[in-house]
Amino acid sequence: MNVIFHGDDFGITPGVNHGIIKAFRNGLLTSTSLMAGGEAAEEAFELALENPGLDVGIHLVLADEPPLLAPETLSTLISRHGLLPSRNRILKSIIAGNLDYRQVETEWCAQVEKVLQGGIVISHLDSHQFIHLFPGLFSVCRKISGRYHIPFIRSTMIEPLLFGRSSIPGIGRLLQWMGLWGWTRFMAIKGYLHSEATIPSVGFLNAGGRLDHVTVLAILDKLVEDQSTSCVEFILHPGMGDKYTHEKYCHWRYFWENDLALMLNKELRKGLEIRHIKTTSFRKER
């Protein structure tokens, strides 16, 4: 059994950048995904090149953050504040049929190309707030994956201990997960997903520092028992827990410092060793 400990949002703030690097250098983190248009993206590029052992993917952004391209080229996307729209507005636009997928593809391609031009080899693809899994957008994502030869796409969400966990997530989070799970199951049945191009992901319900080492090991034990997969990705959000990140993204109610502490946890490392579970990365699993 192999496990990928992954840090989302590389490039969003300096505090997140340095939390991810510390989790990699001193802990169990092996992978991250970079937000090309994040306010701390340039620092993230530098840190990635200074740490070539860190596996880097692209974290496609379509919601709530500034676009990479000029707003006038993204007329169906930009909100009145000059930012990319909220996730709810995107979903409403998809349902109403007035989202221009060509503009989405143009913005996402610009994000991918910025990372590639920065000298980084992209080994996997995911997105901010899982928007790439929305109807219609996953097709755009697959086109981009093929065009730029990105081998892995985050597309299979699992929660092995959904009904046996010590703390049940809020109803809103649970409903979001059920929607994503149901849609990705439908895509799998219809043959839209390629099993060789995805590694199942855990962590949506525990996002933002709500996983502990006991739960991680219990999830891995369940996966080994079920023999359902040979490799799994844990989606984490490590950060330094700095005041700036907490204030700017207070509406997320994340605890970035908890995920950093999890990656540095000696009991987790010991538990993996006892179980002969190895850390890996998307780059190594290719």
The fraction of the chain above a pLDDT of 90, given in percent, is: 75
State residue 33's pLDDT score. 98
Query: Cβ distance 179 to 162 under 8 Å?
Result: no
State residue 195's pLDDT score. 55
Stretch 118-135: mean pLDDT, rounded? 94
State residue 179's pLDDT score. 78
- Using a 10 angstrom Cβ sphere, with 0-12 exposed, 13-18 middle and 19 or more buried, the burial of residue 148 is middle
pLDDT of 147-166, one tens digit each? 999 999 998 888 887 655 54
Q: What is the torsional sign of CA 188, 61, 283, 281? A: negative
Which of 223, 205, 193, 210 has the alpha carbon at shortest distance from 259? Answer: 210
The H or E element spanning position 143 is helix 137-147
- Measure the CA–CA gap between 103 and 278, rounded to whole angstroms: 41
C-alpha distance from residue 194 to each of 83, 151, 156, 178, 252 (Å): 33, 10, 10, 21, 32
Q: Is 241 left (phi over 0), alpha (psi -120 to 50) or beta?
A: left
Query: Cβ distance 31 to 236 under 8 Å?
Result: no
CB-facing half-sphere around the CA of 186: CA atoms within 13 A: 10
- Measure the CA–CA gap between 65 and 156, rounded to whole angstroms: 25
Q: How confident is the model at residue 10 (pLDDT cuts 50, 70, 90)?
A: very high
State residue 82's pLDDT score. 85
State residue 204's pLDDT score. 87
- What is the CA angle 29-30-35, rounded to 5? 90
- Rounded to a whole number of angstroms, the distance between the first and last alpha carbons of the chain is 15
- What is the CA angle 65-202-159, rounded to 5? 125
Distance of CA 258 to the CA centre of its chain: 17
Which of 124, 176, 110 has the alpha carbon at shortest distance from 155? Answer: 124
- What is the CA angle 176-177-178, rounded to 5? 90
pLDDT of 233-283, one tens digit each? 999 999 999 999 999 999 999 999 999 999 999 999 999 999 999 999 999
C-alpha distance from residue 222 to each of 1, 4, 165, 212, 217 (Å): 12, 16, 12, 16, 9
State residue 221's pLDDT score. 95
pLDDT of 62-117, one tens digit each? 999 999 999 888 988 988 788 999 988 998 999 999 999 999 999 999 999 999 99
Mean pLDDT of the chain: 91
> What are the structural domains of the chain?
2-285 (3.20.20.370)
DSSP-derived pairing of the beta strands 31-34 and 124-127: unpaired
Q: How confident is the model at residue 206 (pLDDT cuts 50, 70, 90)?
A: confident
Query: Cβ distance 15 to 240 under 8 Å?
Result: yes
Q: How confident is the model at residue 123 (pLDDT cuts 50, 70, 90)?
A: very high
pTM score:
0.93
State residue 169's pLDDT score. 62
Q: How confident is the model at residue 194 (pLDDT cuts 50, 70, 90)?
A: low
